[in-house]
Amino acid sequence: MSTIDMKEAERERIVTEALASITEDRLREAAVGVTSIASPTGGEAPLARWLAERLAAAGLDAHQQRIDDGQANAVGRLRGDGTGADLMLYAPIDTLTTGDPDLDVPWIGPVLRPDMRAEARCDGPFVSGLGASNPKGHAACVLVVGEALAGVRARLAGDLLIAFGAGGMPTNAIDGTGRLNTGHGVGCSFLLERGWHPDYAVIAKPGDFVAHEEVGLCWFEIVVPGIHTYSGSRHRLPYQNPIVTAAEVVTRLERWLADYPERHRTATAAPQGIIGSVAGGWERMPAVTSAACRIRLDLRIAPGTTPLAAKRELAAYLRRLSAELGVDLAVELVLAIPGTRTPPEDWVVRSAVRAWESVSGRRHEPIDGNSGATDANILRARGIPTARVGMPKVVSTEFDVDFARGMNTVDVRAMRRLCELLVRVAVDTTTRTRAEIDETKD
């Protein structure tokens, strides 16, 4: 047997031994554990502490990385001998909604369903609860893979970093007090700033494919002007209700957004946009009109499109709309995270594709039409080649799968498959010297 064949046989032995300990029961226990600890954006510290303790107990050099009193990351490291490239397996840990009816209702629905609460429930192969799939089922896979590889005690060339980031969801601070930068990848950025900086990264987020690029996002605030007046004086004083004008602006924007993806489509991305918030007037005093109405717009941008280019495109449309409606619409860019791309020929993408094909038993084909943004943008923007892998949305004939249910239900069988993919990428990368990886670029 040649030296190359011997190395490949050893890699497969490590994979086989690690996977032997990753059972569906173990994955179910991990999914229940992470789902049952509430971690809304800005309040991830209890879950980060639990994750760090699990990693340390498995033998990793691990700790909770405090950001503030409520927010923290969890990190762990399996050390190599220094000759190889360092790989980070990463997952965010905060949930999009909070599980608190005072904050989520009525915007999420009339009541909180059981799957919308941080209380894990098991039903056959499914685990449900707030964020049980996105992000927590994916985080549970990263956790169990880290534990399993630590148990193998294989000789590594590069370090394997296991990292869980706070503040991965597209949200500003929930309560609007204290530190305001709690979302949009703040935990991932903090990890990198504090030295947890790998050569390559794999992020676990939904999608049964390997993604090498994804969209960014821009938030815009559009201000519709009006006149402050009183219901009893509507017929006697100048009247321009900004809420009524905003209704027309929203309708026109929806048509503009419907055509937007085709103007910015790439091979795998079709960036979308939605109007997510309209605010105008005093809820306590509907007897008067306000002098302004604010519209908040989320606009996804393809890799290569700058936030300012997106702003200028939107502003040009709003100038035309202002002329048609006879109002002076103002627009400001209030959040900007550019889209990013790792070349598909990069090592980590090719390794992830090989792993996906090994697990799936078929050729990998890129999926187009994507418009989701993740912390992969934070990693790539810092110069770290990154691949994104994940699980498909759960499918069941026993319950309807709407957006929330898809976020909040995970199938342990899909978790097992994702774990095998992650193990294969981790072993493929961290058991090679940097020179071996560099040779594959030729």
Residue 6 confidence (pLDDT): 73
Q: Tell me how far apart the alpha carbons of residues 19 and 118 are, in angstroms, rounded to a whole number.
A: 29
CA geometry: angle at 96 spanning 299 and 47, to 5°?
140
More reliable by pLDDT, 48 or 180 = 48
pLDDT in tens, 303-362: 999 999 999 999 999 999 999 999 999 999 999 999 999 999 999 999 999 999 999 999
Q: Burial, 186: exposed, middle or buried (Cβ in 10 Å; 0-12, 13-18, 19+)?
A: buried
Lowest-confidence range among 17-21, 173-177, 342-346, 397-401? 397-401
pLDDT in tens, 131-144: 999 999 999 999 99
Q: Tell me how far apart the alpha carbons of residues 333 and 276 are, in angstroms, rounded to a whole number.
A: 15
Average pLDDT, rounded, for the chain: 96
pLDDT in tens, 51-64: 999 999 999 999 99
Which pLDDT band holds residue 88 (cuts at 50, 70, 90)?
Answer: very high
pTM more than 0.85: yes
Share of the chain above pLDDT 90, in %: 94
pLDDT in tens, 69-85: 999 999 999 999 999 99
Q: What is the largest CA-CA distance in the chain?
A: 95
Phi-psi region of 96 (alpha: psi -120 to 50; beta: other; left: phi over 0): alpha
Looking at the predicted structure, is the pLDDT value of residue 442 above 70? no
pLDDT in tens, 345-391: 999 999 999 999 999 999 999 999 999 999 999 999 999 999 999 99
pLDDT in tens, 229-238: 999 999 999 9
- Domains within the chain, CATH numbers bracketed: 3-214+340-439 (3.40.630.10), 216-337 (3.30.70.360)
Residue 397 confidence (pLDDT): 64
Which pLDDT band holds residue 396 (cuts at 50, 70, 90)?
Answer: confident
Which pLDDT band holds residue 400 (cuts at 50, 70, 90)?
Answer: confident
Beta strands across the sheet bearing 409-411: 121-123, 126-128, 409-411
Residue 328 confidence (pLDDT): 97
Mean pLDDT of the 83-88 span: 98
Residue 1 confidence (pLDDT): 59
Give the residue from 193, 137, 189 showing the smallest Cα distance to 166.
Answer: 189
